[in-house]
């Protein structure tokens, strides 16, 4: 507010210090964002420059030949897509149901606290532990073969904690007034959750699914023990067939190939295809999230 003679009051020393701290914090945030983006661009540029030369129609649509040194990577692409889709079909419903129970129905107490801590710990468990657990449970104990199904079940267990936590956070961010208004109109608790809470939380839920897509497509250890094979020059004919996957294929070619340097362009080309698949899936999920976000905004 201006003083009577039209001059603006001088800022106090404390106000100047707060403004300086704020400007400094914003500067460091911008620098951190720029640094992260630059690293990402450098990595993507390096992969593209070294891998784009092998990306052809034949590379994407043919079966592998001569122990993967010739031909294409079509089984790897199909196997990766099937693995991600089936893992999400297993993990997303169970994860969302678990989050609904923990957020809306479970009473405060030691049991709920214990379950939430277990979910948090599982989210930070190394992926190779999930791989060993999946092999012990699904293959050794239940007797399932090393296949797309066992790999997807193991991967579903891996990404489920992430979906549970992100869904919980999304549901907790829905204002309590929405629930109270729905209950005041005589709507049941389940209908309130289904028609009010979940549509409002869709954006956050899909964010968790986006994170899970990248992890399901890029993890190697869980499928190493449960379903992925290096050389299987045919498409899986059922969920009980073994699969080739881009991440596992890339790992073997970069570490155990007979001629690593000679296959270096194929390695980078495989990495480029894997990144492209993850980007396309994430783009589709972002489009779905925006659709539901606009739908919720219009309904409000």
- pLDDT tens readout for residues 37-88: 999 999 999 999 988 888 888 888 888 877 677 778 899 999 999 999 999 9
Domain match, 95 and 137 both? yes
Domain match, 20 and 91 both? no
Confidence of residue 189 (pLDDT cuts 50, 70, 90): confident
Q: Which of 34, 51, 68 is where one domain is finished? A: 51
Higher-scoring residue by pLDDT: 111, 151: 151
Domain match, 17 and 141 both? no
Domain match, 61 and 33 both? no
Q: Answer whether residue 102 shows pLDDT above 60.
A: yes
Q: Answer whether residue 282 shows pLDDT above 70.
A: yes
State which residues form the domain around 188: 57-299
Domain match, 72 and 88 both? yes
Q: Residue 74's closest CA among 219, 238, 235?
A: 235
Domain match, 188 and 167 both? yes
Domain match, 105 and 3 both? no
Domain match, 63 and 90 both? yes
User: Mean pLDDT throughout 124-128?
Assistant: 88
Domain match, 108 and 246 both? yes
pLDDT in tens, 19-31: 888 889 999 999 9
Q: Residue 133's closest CA among 149, 157, 152?
A: 157
Domain match, 22 and 161 both? no
Domain match, 191 and 145 both? yes
- Under 8 Å between Cβ of 122 and 161: yes
Domain match, 30 and 71 both? no
Q: Which of 51, 70, 93 is where one domain is finished? A: 51
Q: Answer whether residue 258 shows pLDDT above 80.
A: no
Alpha carbon distance, N-terminus to C-terminus of the chain = 37
Sign of CA dihedral 286, 287, 290, 295: negative
Q: The pTM is what? A: 0.83
Mean pLDDT (the chain, rounded)? 86
In the chain, the number of structural domains is 2
**Which CATH number fits the domain that encloses residue 105?**
1.10.3720.10
């Amino acid at each position: 507010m201006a003083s009577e003679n039209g001059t603006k009051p001088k800022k106090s020393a404390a106000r100047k210090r707060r403004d300086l701290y704020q400007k400094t914090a914003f500067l460091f945030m911008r620098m951190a964002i720029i640094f992260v983006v630059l690293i990402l661009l450098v990595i993507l540029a390096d992969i593209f420059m070294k891998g784009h030369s092998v990306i052809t129609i034949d590379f994407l649509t043919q079966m592998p030949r001569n122990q993967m040194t010739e031909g294409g990577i079509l089984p790897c692409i199909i196997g990766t897509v099937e693995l991600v889709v089936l893992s999400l079909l297993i993990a997303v419903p169970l994860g969302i149901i678990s989050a609904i129970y923990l957020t809306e129905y479970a009473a405060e107490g030691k049991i709920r606290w214990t379950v939430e801590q277990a979910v948090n710990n599982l989210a930070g468990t190394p992926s190779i532990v999930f791989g060993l657990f999946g092999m012990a449970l699904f293959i050794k104990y239940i007797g399932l073969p090393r296949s797309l199904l066992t790999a997807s079940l193991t991967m579903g267990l891996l990404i489920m904690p992430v979906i549970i936590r992100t869904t919980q956070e999304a549901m907790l961010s829905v204002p309590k007034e929405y629930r109270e208004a729905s209950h005041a109109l005589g709507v049941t608790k389940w209908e309130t959750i289904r028609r009010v809470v979940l549509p409002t939380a869709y954006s956050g839920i899909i964010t968790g699914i986006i994170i899970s897509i990248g992890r399901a497509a890029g993890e190697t250890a869980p499928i190493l023990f449960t379903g992925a094979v290096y050389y299987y020059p045919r498409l899986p004919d059922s969920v009980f067939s073994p699969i080739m996957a881009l991440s596992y294929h890339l790992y073997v070619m970069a570490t155990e190939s007979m001629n690593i340097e000679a296959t270096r362009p194929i390695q980078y080309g495989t990495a480029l295809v894997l990144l492209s698949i993850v980007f396309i899936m994430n783009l589709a999920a972002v489009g779905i999230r925006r659709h539901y976000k606009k739908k919720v905004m219009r309904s409000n």
